[in-house]
Amino acid sequence: MSQAFKVEPWKLTISGECDRPITLDYDDLTKMFPLEERIYRLRCVEAWSMVIPWIGFSLADLLKKVAPNSKAKYVAFETLYDPEQMPGQGNRRLGGGIHYPYVEGLRIDEAMNPLTLMSVGLYGKTLPPQNGAPIRLVVPWKYGFKSIKSIVGIKLVEHQPPTTWNQLAAKEYGFYANVNPEHDHPRWSQAGERQITTGGLFTRNRIATLPFNGYGEEVAGLYKGMDLSKYY
Ligand SMILES: Nc1nc2c(c(=O)[nH]1)N[C@H]1C(S)=C(S)[C@@H](COP(=O)(O)O)O[C@H]1N2
Ligand SMILES: [Mo]
C-alpha cells in the first residue's frame, strides 16, 4: 500500500446475525468509543515477533452495539478489496497466491474476549497504510495473520467462516492459529522466535515462544477440553 492510500471516505459495516446492524464511517471509527493504548506482543507465524503499543477499543464494545443474536457463533472479517490501491490484490506474483479480499474469522467467545482489540493507531499516531489503516483487528494470543488489516466488513455468522491462509494451505495454517510452541509448522519450529526491536543492535534476539503468546491466563480457558494439536 502506498502513502496515497485513501482512508477517507471509509465504510465499515457490521451485519449478519444481529438485531441492529450498523455502518460506520471514518469519523465514527475514532470517535465512537473511548480509545486506550495497549502494549501487546505480536507473534508472526513465521517466527518473528515485536512489542507494539496499539491504540484502539475492544471488539466486544463494537459487537455489543449491534446486539448479536443466538445464531451468532462466529465473526467473519473482510479487508477492503481495491486492486488499484493495493497492488498485491490484482497481481498473482505480488499477491503470493492469496485469494483476495483477505478474510479472517474468530469464534464469538474469542471475539468477545476483552483482549481482542480493534486498532486505529500505533505509537501514538493513526495507523499507517501498511499497518492496516484506518482500522484493523489485533488478537495478541494468535499468530499475526489472524490480525486482519484495513477492515470494511464484520459479519456475525452461524458457521466457521473461511480464512485466507487456511484456504491457501490448511495443513500449515489452522483456523484457530493460537500461538503454540509445542505445535510446529510443518517446515519450521514454533518453539522460539526472533524478536525485532527498534534498537538495531538487538534485532536478532532469539527468545522462547510462550503458549498463547504469554496470554494463557486470560485465554486458555476458551479452549478447555480441545485438542490443540488437532485444532491448531
Ligand atoms: N488485510 C491483510 N491483513 C493482514 C495481512 C495481509 O496480508 N492482509 N498480513 C497478516 C500477517 S501475516 C501479519 S504477521 C500481520 C502483520 O501486521 P503488520 O503489517 O502491521 O506488522 O498482519 C496480518 N494481517
Ligand atoms: Mo505474518
Average pLDDT over residues 49-67: 97
- What does the pLDDT read at residue 205? 83
Of residues 90, 88, 79, 99, the one with CA closest to residue 148: 79
- Write down the residue that cell numbers 486458555 correspond to: 220
Q: What is the mean pLDDT of residues 142-171?
A: 97
- Give 33-57 pLDDT, tens digit per residue: 999 999 999 999 999 999 999 999 9
2 C-alpha to ligand 2 centroid (Å): 19
What pLDDT band is residue 82 in, cutting at 50, 70 and 90? confident
Q: How far is the CA of 117 from the centre of ligand 1 (A)?
A: 15
The model's pTM is 0.94
**Cα(211)–Cα(229) distance, rounded to whole angstroms?**
13
Pocket flag, ligand 1, residue 164 (CB < 6 Å): no
Q: How high is the mean pLDDT of the chain?
A: 93
**Burial call 21-50: b when 16+ CB within 10 Å, e when fewer:** beebebeebbeebebeebebbbbbbebebb
Question: Which pLDDT score, from 0 to 100, does residue 84 have?
Answer: 82
pLDDT band at 87 (very low <50, low <70, confident <90, very high): confident
What's the mean pLDDT in 204-220? 95
Q: What is the rounded distance in angstroms from the CA atom of residue 201 to the CA atom of residue 134?
A: 32
Residue nearest to atom 21 of ligand 1 (CA): 131
> Rounded CA gap, 24 and 192, in Å?
40
The superfamily in CATH containing domain 2-175 is Oxidoreductase, molybdopterin-binding domain (3.90.420.10)
